[in-house]
Structure 1
Amino acid sequence: MVGIKVLKRNGSTEDFLRDKLVRSLKLAGVPDPDLVVNALDIKGIVPSSELSDRVQLIMLNMVTEDLRWHDAARNYLLWSVYKQVWGKDVVKAINDGRVKFEDAYREGFKAWFRTGLELRIWDSEMSAWYAQHIDELAKYLDPSRDLLLTYNGVRTLMSRYLLKRLDGSFFEAPQYLWMRTAMGVAYAELKYGGDPITWARRFYDLMSN
Protein backbone atom coordinates (compact mmCIF):
# COMPACT_ATOMS: atom_id res chain seq x y z
CA MET A 1 0.00 0.00 0.00
CA VAL A 2 2.98 2.29 -0.47
CA GLY A 3 2.14 5.46 -2.40
CA ILE A 4 -1.57 5.44 -1.62
CA LYS A 5 -3.03 8.82 -0.70
CA VAL A 6 -6.24 9.60 1.19
CA LEU A 7 -8.25 12.60 -0.03
CA LYS A 8 -9.70 14.36 3.01
CA ARG A 9 -13.03 16.19 3.18
CA ASN A 10 -11.26 19.58 3.16
CA GLY A 11 -9.51 18.78 -0.12
CA SER A 12 -6.07 17.98 1.32
CA THR A 13 -4.35 14.62 0.93
CA GLU A 14 -2.28 12.52 3.30
CA ASP A 15 -0.42 9.22 3.08
CA PHE A 16 -2.46 6.13 3.83
CA LEU A 17 -1.19 4.82 7.14
CA ARG A 18 -1.92 1.17 7.83
CA ASP A 19 -1.22 1.50 11.57
CA LYS A 20 -3.63 4.43 11.86
CA LEU A 21 -6.45 2.40 10.32
CA VAL A 22 -5.65 -0.64 12.45
CA ARG A 23 -5.79 1.53 15.57
CA SER A 24 -9.23 2.86 14.58
CA LEU A 25 -10.49 -0.64 13.90
CA LYS A 26 -9.29 -1.87 17.28
CA LEU A 27 -11.08 1.00 19.02
CA ALA A 28 -14.28 0.00 17.19
CA GLY A 29 -13.95 -3.54 18.50
CA VAL A 30 -13.14 -5.21 15.19
CA PRO A 31 -12.40 -8.93 15.80
CA ASP A 32 -9.56 -9.04 13.25
CA PRO A 33 -8.27 -5.62 12.09
CA ASP A 34 -5.53 -7.13 9.92
CA LEU A 35 -8.13 -9.11 7.96
CA VAL A 36 -9.92 -5.87 7.09
CA VAL A 37 -6.79 -4.02 6.03
CA ASN A 38 -5.50 -6.93 3.97
CA ALA A 39 -8.85 -7.18 2.18
CA LEU A 40 -8.77 -3.54 1.08
CA ASP A 41 -8.29 -3.11 -2.66
CA ILE A 42 -7.17 0.49 -2.99
CA LYS A 43 -4.63 2.32 -5.11
CA GLY A 44 -3.74 5.86 -6.06
CA ILE A 45 -5.79 8.59 -4.38
CA VAL A 46 -8.81 7.39 -2.41
CA PRO A 47 -11.46 9.74 -0.92
CA SER A 48 -11.73 9.25 2.84
CA SER A 49 -15.47 8.58 2.53
CA GLU A 50 -14.84 5.82 -0.01
CA LEU A 51 -12.17 4.26 2.19
CA SER A 52 -14.59 4.27 5.13
CA ASP A 53 -17.34 2.68 3.03
CA ARG A 54 -15.02 -0.07 1.83
CA VAL A 55 -13.91 -0.84 5.38
CA GLN A 56 -17.52 -1.07 6.52
CA LEU A 57 -18.48 -3.32 3.59
CA ILE A 58 -15.71 -5.77 4.45
CA MET A 59 -16.93 -5.93 8.04
CA LEU A 60 -20.59 -6.35 7.05
CA ASN A 61 -19.66 -9.25 4.78
CA MET A 62 -18.28 -11.01 7.86
CA VAL A 63 -21.45 -10.66 9.97
CA THR A 64 -22.80 -14.09 9.02
CA GLU A 65 -19.71 -15.65 10.59
CA ASP A 66 -19.66 -13.60 13.79
CA LEU A 67 -22.15 -10.96 14.98
CA ARG A 68 -19.31 -9.01 16.58
CA TRP A 69 -18.54 -7.75 13.09
CA HIS A 70 -21.93 -6.01 12.99
CA ASP A 71 -21.29 -4.16 16.24
CA ALA A 72 -17.80 -3.22 15.07
CA ALA A 73 -19.17 -1.82 11.79
CA ARG A 74 -21.79 0.13 13.75
CA ASN A 75 -19.15 1.50 16.15
CA TYR A 76 -16.83 2.45 13.29
CA LEU A 77 -19.68 4.34 11.62
CA LEU A 78 -20.65 6.12 14.84
CA TRP A 79 -17.10 7.30 15.41
CA SER A 80 -17.00 8.73 11.90
CA VAL A 81 -20.03 10.82 12.92
CA TYR A 82 -18.45 11.85 16.24
CA LYS A 83 -15.30 13.02 14.46
CA GLN A 84 -17.37 15.29 12.22
CA VAL A 85 -19.54 16.61 15.06
CA TRP A 86 -16.79 17.28 17.64
CA GLY A 87 -13.64 17.49 15.51
CA LYS A 88 -10.73 15.09 15.27
CA ASP A 89 -8.86 16.72 18.18
CA VAL A 90 -11.63 15.83 20.62
CA VAL A 91 -11.85 12.28 19.28
CA LYS A 92 -8.08 11.92 19.60
CA ALA A 93 -8.26 13.15 23.21
CA ILE A 94 -10.91 10.51 23.93
CA ASN A 95 -8.85 7.75 22.31
CA ASP A 96 -5.76 8.85 24.24
CA GLY A 97 -7.67 8.74 27.51
CA ARG A 98 -7.34 12.47 28.19
CA VAL A 99 -11.09 13.07 27.93
CA LYS A 100 -13.96 10.80 28.94
CA PHE A 101 -16.31 9.86 26.12
CA GLU A 102 -19.39 10.78 28.17
CA ASP A 103 -17.95 14.20 29.07
CA ALA A 104 -17.10 14.96 25.44
CA TYR A 105 -20.57 13.87 24.36
CA ARG A 106 -22.32 16.16 26.86
CA GLU A 107 -19.99 19.12 26.31
CA GLY A 108 -20.56 18.65 22.60
CA PHE A 109 -24.29 18.92 23.18
CA LYS A 110 -23.90 22.30 24.86
CA ALA A 111 -21.61 23.49 22.05
CA TRP A 112 -24.15 22.19 19.51
CA PHE A 113 -26.91 24.20 21.19
CA ARG A 114 -24.79 27.39 21.35
CA THR A 115 -23.84 27.09 17.70
CA GLY A 116 -27.48 26.65 16.79
CA LEU A 117 -28.26 29.85 18.66
CA GLU A 118 -25.51 31.77 16.89
CA LEU A 119 -26.60 30.54 13.46
CA ARG A 120 -30.29 31.05 14.31
CA ILE A 121 -31.15 27.45 13.49
CA TRP A 122 -33.46 27.08 16.48
CA ASP A 123 -36.80 28.77 17.07
CA SER A 124 -35.88 32.02 18.85
CA GLU A 125 -38.56 31.91 21.58
CA MET A 126 -38.09 28.23 22.35
CA SER A 127 -34.29 28.34 22.36
CA ALA A 128 -34.24 31.40 24.63
CA TRP A 129 -36.25 29.45 27.20
CA TYR A 130 -34.20 26.26 26.90
CA ALA A 131 -30.92 28.18 27.15
CA GLN A 132 -31.54 28.45 30.91
CA HIS A 133 -31.77 24.66 31.23
CA ILE A 134 -29.28 23.35 28.69
CA ASP A 135 -26.76 22.19 31.32
CA GLU A 136 -29.47 20.13 33.03
CA LEU A 137 -30.50 18.52 29.76
CA ALA A 138 -26.89 17.84 28.82
CA LYS A 139 -26.38 15.91 32.06
CA TYR A 140 -29.45 13.82 31.31
CA LEU A 141 -28.11 12.58 27.97
CA ASP A 142 -27.09 8.92 27.96
CA PRO A 143 -24.38 8.45 25.28
CA SER A 144 -24.42 4.66 25.76
CA ARG A 145 -27.83 4.57 24.08
CA ASP A 146 -26.11 5.10 20.73
CA LEU A 147 -25.18 1.41 21.07
CA LEU A 148 -28.87 0.48 21.03
CA LEU A 149 -28.86 1.40 17.36
CA THR A 150 -28.11 -1.18 14.66
CA TYR A 151 -25.73 -0.42 11.83
CA ASN A 152 -28.70 0.21 9.52
CA GLY A 153 -30.25 2.40 12.21
CA VAL A 154 -27.19 4.64 12.26
CA ARG A 155 -27.16 4.73 8.46
CA THR A 156 -30.83 5.78 8.42
CA LEU A 157 -30.24 8.60 10.90
CA MET A 158 -27.26 9.78 8.82
CA SER A 159 -29.17 9.77 5.55
CA ARG A 160 -32.41 11.35 6.78
CA TYR A 161 -32.40 12.93 10.22
CA LEU A 162 -29.08 14.12 11.65
CA LEU A 163 -28.48 17.81 10.98
CA LYS A 164 -25.59 18.71 8.69
CA ARG A 165 -23.47 21.79 8.14
CA LEU A 166 -23.39 23.56 4.79
CA ASP A 167 -20.26 21.59 3.84
CA GLY A 168 -22.14 18.32 4.31
CA SER A 169 -20.46 17.27 7.55
CA PHE A 170 -22.60 16.12 10.46
CA PHE A 171 -23.61 18.64 13.08
CA GLU A 172 -25.29 16.41 15.64
CA ALA A 173 -24.88 12.99 17.26
CA PRO A 174 -27.84 10.58 17.69
CA GLN A 175 -28.63 11.55 21.29
CA TYR A 176 -28.69 15.24 20.29
CA LEU A 177 -31.34 14.38 17.70
CA TRP A 178 -33.52 12.61 20.25
CA MET A 179 -33.20 15.44 22.76
CA ARG A 180 -33.79 18.10 20.11
CA THR A 181 -37.04 16.39 19.12
CA ALA A 182 -38.06 15.90 22.75
CA MET A 183 -37.41 19.57 23.53
CA GLY A 184 -39.50 20.67 20.56
CA VAL A 185 -42.50 18.57 21.58
CA ALA A 186 -42.21 19.27 25.32
CA TYR A 187 -42.12 23.05 24.90
CA ALA A 188 -45.91 23.09 24.38
CA GLU A 189 -46.29 22.17 28.07
CA LEU A 190 -45.68 25.83 28.97
CA LYS A 191 -49.10 26.67 27.58
CA TYR A 192 -50.82 24.18 29.89
CA GLY A 193 -48.97 24.69 33.16
CA GLY A 194 -46.64 21.74 32.68
CA ASP A 195 -42.85 21.57 32.97
CA PRO A 196 -41.10 21.21 29.58
CA ILE A 197 -37.93 19.83 31.20
CA THR A 198 -39.80 16.96 32.87
CA TRP A 199 -41.57 16.10 29.63
CA ALA A 200 -38.44 16.54 27.52
CA ARG A 201 -36.80 13.87 29.67
CA ARG A 202 -39.78 11.55 29.27
CA PHE A 203 -39.95 11.99 25.51
CA TYR A 204 -36.18 11.61 25.25
CA ASP A 205 -36.28 8.33 27.20
CA LEU A 206 -39.05 6.97 24.98
CA MET A 207 -37.19 7.74 21.75
CA SER A 208 -33.62 6.99 22.79
CA ASN A 209 -34.53 3.66 24.36
Structure 2
Amino acid sequence: MSLSTEITSKVIEIKVLKRNGSTEDYSKDKLASSLKLAGVPDPDLVIGALDIKGTISTNELSDRIQLIMLNMVTDDLRWHDAARNYLLWSVYKQVWGGKDIVKAINKGRIKFEDAYREGFKTWFRIGLELRIWDSEMSAWYAQHIDELAEYLDPPSRDLLLTYNGVRTLMSRYLLKRLDGTFFETPPQYL
Protein backbone atom coordinates (compact mmCIF):
# COMPACT_ATOMS: atom_id res chain seq x y z
CA MET A 1 0.00 0.00 0.00
CA SER A 2 1.42 3.39 -0.95
CA LEU A 3 1.55 6.32 1.44
CA SER A 4 -1.15 8.26 -0.46
CA THR A 5 -3.51 5.25 -0.32
CA GLU A 6 -2.87 4.89 3.40
CA ILE A 7 -3.58 8.58 4.05
CA THR A 8 -6.72 8.51 1.91
CA SER A 9 -8.07 5.47 3.73
CA LYS A 10 -7.66 7.24 7.09
CA VAL A 11 -9.75 10.29 6.12
CA ILE A 12 -12.70 10.43 8.50
CA GLU A 13 -16.01 11.40 7.02
CA ILE A 14 -17.59 14.13 9.13
CA LYS A 15 -21.38 14.27 9.39
CA VAL A 16 -23.60 16.87 11.01
CA LEU A 17 -26.67 15.60 12.87
CA LYS A 18 -29.46 18.12 12.27
CA ARG A 19 -32.20 19.00 14.78
CA ASN A 20 -34.77 17.05 12.75
CA GLY A 21 -32.71 13.84 13.05
CA SER A 22 -31.28 13.83 9.52
CA THR A 23 -27.56 13.99 8.79
CA GLU A 24 -25.62 15.85 6.16
CA ASP A 25 -21.97 16.10 5.16
CA TYR A 26 -19.94 18.73 7.01
CA SER A 27 -19.17 21.64 4.69
CA LYS A 28 -16.41 24.14 5.43
CA ASP A 29 -17.85 26.45 2.77
CA LYS A 30 -21.28 26.41 4.36
CA LEU A 31 -19.77 27.09 7.77
CA ALA A 32 -17.60 29.90 6.38
CA SER A 33 -20.72 31.50 4.89
CA SER A 34 -22.50 31.38 8.27
CA LEU A 35 -19.47 32.82 10.03
CA LYS A 36 -19.20 35.67 7.52
CA LEU A 37 -22.90 36.44 7.99
CA ALA A 38 -22.27 36.75 11.74
CA GLY A 39 -19.39 39.15 11.16
CA VAL A 40 -16.59 36.84 12.31
CA PRO A 41 -13.25 38.67 11.91
CA ASP A 42 -11.43 35.55 10.64
CA PRO A 43 -13.68 32.61 9.65
CA ASP A 44 -10.67 30.48 8.62
CA LEU A 45 -9.25 30.77 12.14
CA VAL A 46 -12.49 29.39 13.63
CA ILE A 47 -12.74 26.58 11.08
CA GLY A 48 -9.09 25.67 11.62
CA ALA A 49 -9.56 25.53 15.39
CA LEU A 50 -12.45 23.07 15.15
CA ASP A 51 -11.49 19.51 15.98
CA ILE A 52 -14.30 17.38 14.62
CA LYS A 53 -14.39 13.66 13.96
CA GLY A 54 -17.27 11.39 13.07
CA THR A 55 -20.76 12.78 13.66
CA ILE A 56 -21.49 15.98 15.54
CA SER A 57 -24.87 17.55 16.35
CA THR A 58 -25.65 21.06 15.15
CA ASN A 59 -25.98 22.17 18.78
CA GLU A 60 -22.55 20.83 19.72
CA LEU A 61 -20.98 22.31 16.60
CA SER A 62 -22.55 25.68 17.33
CA ASP A 63 -21.39 25.57 20.97
CA ARG A 64 -17.82 24.77 19.91
CA ILE A 65 -17.80 27.60 17.39
CA GLN A 66 -19.09 30.07 19.97
CA LEU A 67 -16.50 28.91 22.52
CA ILE A 68 -13.69 29.44 20.00
CA MET A 69 -14.96 32.96 19.32
CA LEU A 70 -15.40 33.80 23.01
CA ASN A 71 -11.83 32.68 23.70
CA MET A 72 -10.67 35.28 21.15
CA VAL A 73 -12.46 38.21 22.85
CA THR A 74 -9.40 39.22 24.87
CA ASP A 75 -7.56 39.83 21.59
CA ASP A 76 -10.33 41.71 19.82
CA LEU A 77 -13.83 42.68 21.02
CA ARG A 78 -15.26 42.05 17.53
CA TRP A 79 -15.19 38.35 18.46
CA HIS A 80 -17.79 38.99 21.17
CA ASP A 81 -20.13 40.62 18.70
CA ALA A 82 -19.56 37.79 16.22
CA ALA A 83 -20.38 35.16 18.88
CA ARG A 84 -23.56 37.05 19.80
CA ASN A 85 -24.55 37.42 16.14
CA TYR A 86 -23.90 33.73 15.44
CA LEU A 87 -26.11 32.83 18.41
CA LEU A 88 -28.85 35.21 17.29
CA TRP A 89 -28.81 33.72 13.78
CA SER A 90 -29.37 30.27 15.26
CA VAL A 91 -32.46 31.61 17.04
CA TYR A 92 -33.70 33.35 13.88
CA LYS A 93 -33.38 30.11 11.88
CA GLN A 94 -35.44 28.22 14.45
CA VAL A 95 -38.13 30.89 14.75
CA TRP A 96 -38.40 31.54 11.02
CA GLY A 97 -38.67 27.86 10.19
CA GLY A 98 -35.24 26.84 8.97
CA LYS A 99 -32.29 27.70 6.86
CA ASP A 100 -34.23 28.56 3.68
CA ILE A 101 -34.86 32.11 4.89
CA VAL A 102 -31.21 32.51 5.87
CA LYS A 103 -30.14 31.23 2.43
CA ALA A 104 -32.50 33.72 0.77
CA ILE A 105 -30.99 36.55 2.84
CA ASN A 106 -27.44 35.41 1.99
CA LYS A 107 -28.23 35.32 -1.72
CA GLY A 108 -29.94 38.72 -1.65
CA ARG A 109 -33.39 37.39 -2.58
CA ILE A 110 -34.87 38.90 0.57
CA LYS A 111 -33.69 41.67 2.85
CA PHE A 112 -32.98 40.81 6.48
CA GLU A 113 -35.38 43.53 7.66
CA ASP A 114 -38.22 42.09 5.56
CA ALA A 115 -37.59 38.55 6.82
CA TYR A 116 -37.52 39.86 10.38
CA ARG A 117 -40.83 41.71 10.01
CA GLU A 118 -42.51 38.77 8.23
CA GLY A 119 -41.22 36.49 10.99
CA PHE A 120 -42.82 38.78 13.56
CA LYS A 121 -46.19 38.67 11.78
CA THR A 122 -46.01 34.88 11.38
CA TRP A 123 -45.09 34.50 15.07
CA PHE A 124 -48.12 36.53 16.07
CA ARG A 125 -50.51 34.65 13.77
CA ILE A 126 -49.28 31.24 14.94
CA GLY A 127 -49.69 32.42 18.54
CA LEU A 128 -53.29 33.33 17.71
CA GLU A 129 -53.96 29.94 16.11
CA LEU A 130 -52.46 28.11 19.08
CA ARG A 131 -54.35 30.37 21.51
CA ILE A 132 -51.18 31.43 23.27
CA TRP A 133 -52.27 35.08 23.37
CA ASP A 134 -55.19 36.45 25.31
CA SER A 135 -58.02 36.61 22.78
CA GLU A 136 -59.39 39.96 23.99
CA MET A 137 -56.03 41.74 23.93
CA SER A 138 -54.84 40.13 20.73
CA ALA A 139 -57.91 41.28 18.79
CA TRP A 140 -56.58 44.85 18.70
CA TYR A 141 -53.04 43.70 17.83
CA ALA A 142 -54.34 41.48 15.02
CA GLN A 143 -55.90 44.52 13.34
CA HIS A 144 -52.62 46.45 13.52
CA ILE A 145 -50.00 43.72 13.06
CA ASP A 146 -48.69 45.11 9.75
CA GLU A 147 -48.30 48.58 11.25
CA LEU A 148 -46.60 47.17 14.36
CA ALA A 149 -44.19 45.17 12.22
CA GLU A 150 -43.12 48.36 10.43
CA TYR A 151 -42.04 49.85 13.78
CA LEU A 152 -39.53 47.06 14.29
CA ASP A 153 -35.99 48.23 13.68
CA PRO A 154 -34.15 44.98 13.09
CA PRO A 155 -31.63 44.09 14.30
CA SER A 156 -30.78 47.25 16.25
CA ARG A 157 -32.47 46.11 19.46
CA ASP A 158 -30.96 42.63 19.23
CA LEU A 159 -27.50 44.14 18.87
CA LEU A 160 -27.91 46.00 22.16
CA LEU A 161 -27.75 42.63 23.91
CA THR A 162 -24.51 41.03 24.98
CA TYR A 163 -23.71 37.40 24.23
CA ASN A 164 -24.62 36.52 27.83
CA GLY A 165 -27.85 38.50 27.52
CA VAL A 166 -28.90 36.45 24.50
CA ARG A 167 -27.93 33.22 26.28
CA THR A 168 -29.96 34.21 29.35
CA LEU A 169 -33.02 35.02 27.24
CA MET A 170 -32.65 31.70 25.43
CA SER A 171 -32.29 29.61 28.56
CA ARG A 172 -34.94 31.26 30.71
CA TYR A 173 -37.43 33.43 28.87
CA LEU A 174 -37.95 32.79 25.17
CA LEU A 175 -40.92 30.59 24.30
CA LYS A 176 -40.06 27.19 22.82
CA ARG A 177 -42.03 24.70 20.81
CA LEU A 178 -42.57 21.17 22.06
CA ASP A 179 -39.61 19.97 19.97
CA GLY A 180 -37.31 22.40 21.84
CA THR A 181 -36.85 24.90 19.01
CA PHE A 182 -37.43 28.57 19.73
CA PHE A 183 -40.77 30.17 18.98
CA GLU A 184 -39.74 33.79 19.50
CA THR A 185 -36.75 36.08 19.02
CA PRO A 186 -35.44 38.39 21.78
CA PRO A 187 -37.39 41.52 20.69
CA GLN A 188 -40.61 39.53 20.53
CA TYR A 189 -40.08 38.67 24.18
CA LEU A 190 -38.96 42.15 25.19
TM-score if structure 2 supplies the norm length?
0.91
Q: What letter corresponds to residue 172 of structure 1 in structure 2?
A: E
Cα shift at 1:176:
1.3
Cα shift at 1:129:
2.2
For residues 77 and 41 of structure 1, the distance between their equivalents in structure 2, rounded to whole angstroms, comes to 20
For residues 41 and 140 of structure 2, the distance between their equivalents in structure 1, rounded to whole angstroms, comes to 47
- In structure 2, what is the equivalent of residue 84 of structure 1? 94
- In structure 2, what is the equivalent of residue 37 of structure 1? 47
1:78-118 deviation per Cα after TM superposition (whole angstroms, max 9, x unaligned): 10111111121111111111111111111111110100011
1:60 partnered with 2:70: yes
- In structure 2, what is the equivalent of residue 160 of structure 1? 172
- In structure 2, what is the equivalent of residue 138 of structure 1? 149
1:105 partnered with 2:116: yes
Cα shift at 1:2:
4.6
For residues 140 and 35 of structure 2, the distance between their equivalents in structure 1, rounded to whole angstroms, comes to 42
Report the number of matched residues: 178
For residues 128 and 72 of structure 2, the distance between their equivalents in structure 1, rounded to whole angstroms, comes to 43
1:20 partnered with 2:30: yes
Equivalent position SS for 1:6: strand
For residues 69 and 18 of structure 1, the distance between their equivalents in structure 2, rounded to whole angstroms, comes to 19
For residues 176 and 167 of structure 1, the distance between their equivalents in structure 2, rounded to whole angstroms, comes to 20
RMSD over aligned Cα atoms: 1.1
Higher relative contact order (CA 8 A, sep 6+): 2
Q: Percent sequence identity over matched residues? A: 84
TM-score if structure 1 supplies the norm length?
0.83
Larger % of helix: which?
A: 1
For residues 73 and 66 of structure 1, the distance between their equivalents in structure 2, rounded to whole angstroms, comes to 12
For residues 125 and 119 of structure 2, the distance between their equivalents in structure 1, rounded to whole angstroms, comes to 10
Structure 1 stretches lacking a partner, 5+ long: 179-209
Which aligned runs of 4 or more in structure 1 are off by greater than 3 angstroms?
none
